[in-house]
Amino acid sequence: MATKAKKITEAPKAAGRVIDVEPSATEPKMEVVIGAIVGKGNEARQEIKVNDWTLTRYGEEGEMLFEDLLVARKLGYEEPRMIRKLIKRMVSQGRLPGEVLQRSTVERYESKPGIWQERAVESYHLTRKQALKVATQSKTDKADAITNEMIDVYDAAQRGLLQPVAQASPANDDIKNLTSTVAQLAQVVSMFVALQANAAMPPTPARPVAAVQLPQEEMRPEKQPAQQELIPKKWYWLNDVTRMTRLSGEQVMDICYSLRLYQNSPHLRRMESPRNSAKKSWQYDDYAVDMIREMAIRKGLYR
């Protein structure tokens, strides 16, 4: 049975942490990045990254979930969205244990070469048992290896969440704050004493200066440094971004999602499509393109 989740309300982020999880005898070493919790209560959201995997928790005590498209890419699907048909069929047949979390989202697709549009879709977020069941039923060449990898990834993420976070001692914090305040006061007192000393000194008599004819260049007033001009942003259509980053449109959208480049980001804007003024498409600025390219390099997608 699939259940739809409520919309997540974002709140100021808490600091995340990076943990090197000690592997068991049968696991490779994994780096676990515990992301900040965004939101409160049932609307909280947290990402846990294990190497190149990302698991998500919804709710402060929620279970870690695998996203459907990530599982599909790991399994080697040429068209990752096709895994949703498999999940939907398994849900309707009652072959997945427990309730399957289903969330509404908006994705972009290429309706015609070079023309991208948006549509509302339902994505699935799977528990450990559900993801393993889907992997075994995918009948791909990588199914067995990915099943083992998912077990290792989930176990590493679970151990990372269970590791205690060192808390700062209140007494040490008070001492640090007091030391900083005393240092600032000492600096202010030193400046005040210096100003008083300068004011008490008698003025130095001015010496007569002989008139000297300076060259014309030297008589010019000192040039003031020109105020730096703000360089306007450059905006690029998705076709330009895919060409510059050597990625597909789907890969660009997935990276934007992982970078939190959403529709309210200052680095994205909707403009009338040059080919169809009745429709609007997204544009990306220089910063967004650089971030997408950097993430693609880190993921090994940039060739």
Residue 258 · residue 54 · CB < 8 Å = yes
4 vs 57: CA distance, rounded Å: 15
The pTM of the whole model exceeds 0.85: no
pLDDT digits (tens, 9 = 90+) for 91-136: 999 999 889 998 888 878 777 888 888 888 889 999 999 999 999 9
pLDDT digits (tens, 9 = 90+) for 15-60: 466 665 555 555 667 889 988 888 888 788 899 999 999 999 988 7
Q: What CA–CA distances, in Å, run from 224 to 219, 221, 231, 249?
A: 15, 9, 20, 48
**Strand intervals (E) in the chain:** 2-4, 17-21, 30-34, 45-50, 53-58, 64-67, 100-112, 115-126, 235-237, 268-272, 280-285
Q: Which residues pair with 21 in a beta bridge?
A: 30
Torsion angle defined by CA atoms of residues 237, 242, 244 and 246, in that order, rounded to the nearest 10 degrees? 180
Structure tokens at 117: 């549009």
Residue 101 · residue 173 · CB < 8 Å = no
Of the pLDDT bands very low, low, confident and very high (cuts 50, 70, 90), residue 14 is very low
Structure tokens at 129: 């048992």
Residue with tokens 């997945």: 96
CA atoms within 13 A on the CB side of 187: 6
- For residue 188, pLDDT over 90 is answered with no
pLDDT digits (tens, 9 = 90+) for 243-302: 888 888 888 888 888 887 777 788 888 888 777 766 778 888 888 888 888 888 888 876
134, burial (CB in 10 Å: exposed 0-12, middle 13-18, buried 19+): buried
Residue 57 · residue 45 · CB < 8 Å = yes
pLDDT digits (tens, 9 = 90+) for 190-237: 777 766 666 665 555 555 545 545 455 444 554 444 444 445 578 888
Percent of the chain with pLDDT over 70: 72
- Own/partner pairs for 75-82, CB < 8 Å, 24+ apart? 75/135, 75/138, 75/140, 75/142, 75/143, 75/146, 76/140, 76/141, 76/142, 77/138, 77/140, 80/250, 81/121
Angle, alpha carbons 40-41-43 (nearest 5°): 70
Residue 255 · residue 293 · CB < 8 Å = no
